[in-house]
């Protein structure tokens, strides 16, 4: 595997379900990101981890809970989501905070019913 | 309030001609700019960037121009090829602020017709 991978690629969940999105980067980077892309909206930064510490939390509702167990893996735990949370969730990584170029995974298309 | 704006949702050009994608920003603290390309079912991929100390950066068929006084940048693709058909995102960052926070535009769908 190379680059940034995300699983699952598609997810349908009910509002009472609990699910997790997984991201893995194979680039040796130190920073990892979660973005949300809703229809007709720009990419919105949700969370940033650098060396497994959270360095950005962009006023994201608590029903989204990130976890970064090591610099290669990033999770987004989802619980009691709302239909408006349906979106494309993108993971990205970068070397560190001085490298502005971010490498993105293919995304997870989430539908909340 | 959108700080990075791509006012053209779509652009269609003929193969071999020039594609010009535009981006405007409102935050004068932005000093580094990037363009990303996104194909369907894939994540965005980095294309080219420019620092505010420059007004032009070129990489093969791709050139980015920055006009700081107008808070405007543009991406030129010449000659355009059908494989360039994708959504193009402009992004900006204030390197004196959070080094992790890219602000993106909504994107422009480029279609290059054979």
Cβ neighbours of residue B104 under 8 Å, at least 6 residues apart? A42, A43, B4, B36, B89, B90, B91
Q: Which residues of B touch A103 (CB under 8 A)?
A: 45-46
Residues of A in contact with B2 (CB under 8 A): 42
Identify residues of A whose CB sits under 8 angstroms from chain B CBs. 4, 6, 31, 33, 40-43, 45, 48, 50, 55-56, 90, 92, 94, 97-98, 100-107
| DSSP string across A11-78 | EEE-TT-EEEEEEEE-S--SEEEEEEE-TTS--EEEEEEETTEEEEE-S--TTEEEEEEETTEEEEEE
Tens-place pLDDT, residues B14-45: 999 999 999 999 999 999 999 999 998 899 99
**Cβ neighbours around B70 below 10 Å, total:** 9
C-alpha distances in angstroms, A45 versus A80, B19, B66, B81, B104? 21, 29, 24, 31, 9
pLDDT at A111: 95
- Enumerate the β-bridge partners of residue A66: A76
Three-state DSSP class for B56?
A: strand
Name every chain B residue with its beta carbon within 8 A of the beta carbon of A57.
Answer: none
Q: In the beta sheet, which residues pair with residue B90? A: B35
Q: What is the pLDDT of residues A25-66, one digit of tens each?
A: 999 999 999 999 998 889 999 999 988 888 877 789 999 999
Compute the distance between CA of residue A2 and CA of residue B8 in angstroms, rounded to an integer: 34
- List the strands of the sheet with A64-70, edge to edge: A4-7, A18-25, A73-79, A64-70
Residue A66 and residue A48 in contact, taking contact as beta carbons nearer than 8 Å: no
pLDDT digits (tens, 9 = 90+) for A1-34: 579 999 999 999 988 889 999 999 999 999 999 9
pLDDT tens for each residue of B43-89: 999 999 999 999 999 999 999 999 999 999 999 999 999 999 999 99
Sign of CA dihedral A93, A51, A108, B90: negative
**Chain-wide mean pLDDT for chain B?**
94
CA proximity to B34, closest of A29, A102, A94 = A102
């Amino acid at each position: 595997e190379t680059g940034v991978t995300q699983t699952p690629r598609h997810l349908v969940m009910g509002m009472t379900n609990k699910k997790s999105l997984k991201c893995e980067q194979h680039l040796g980077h130190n920073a990892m990101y979660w973005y949300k892309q809703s229809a007709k909206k720009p990419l919105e930064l949700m969370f940033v981890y650098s060396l497994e510490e959270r360095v950005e939390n962009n006023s994201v509702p608590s029903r989204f809970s990130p976890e970064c167990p090591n610099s290669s893996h990033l999770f987004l735990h989802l619980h009691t989501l709302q239909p408006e949370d349906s979106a494309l969730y993108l993971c990205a990584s970068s070397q560190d905070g001085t490298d502005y170029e971010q490498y993105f995974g293919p995304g997870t298309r989430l539908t909340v019913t | 309030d959108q700080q990075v704006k791509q006012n053209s949702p779509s652009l269609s050009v003929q193969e071999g001609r020039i594609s010009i994608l535009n981006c405007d920003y409102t935050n004068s603290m932005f000093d580094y700019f990037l363009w990303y390309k996104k194909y369907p079912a894939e994540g965005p991929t980095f294309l080219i960037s420019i620092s505010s100390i420059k007004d032009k950066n070129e990489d093969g068929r791709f050139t980015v121009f920055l006009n700081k006084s107008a808070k405007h940048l543009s991406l030129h693709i010449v000659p355009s090829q059908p494989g360039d058909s994708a959504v193009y995102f402009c992004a900006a960052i204030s390197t004196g602020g959070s080094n992790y926070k890219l602000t993106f535009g909504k994107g422009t769908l480029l279609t290059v017709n054979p």
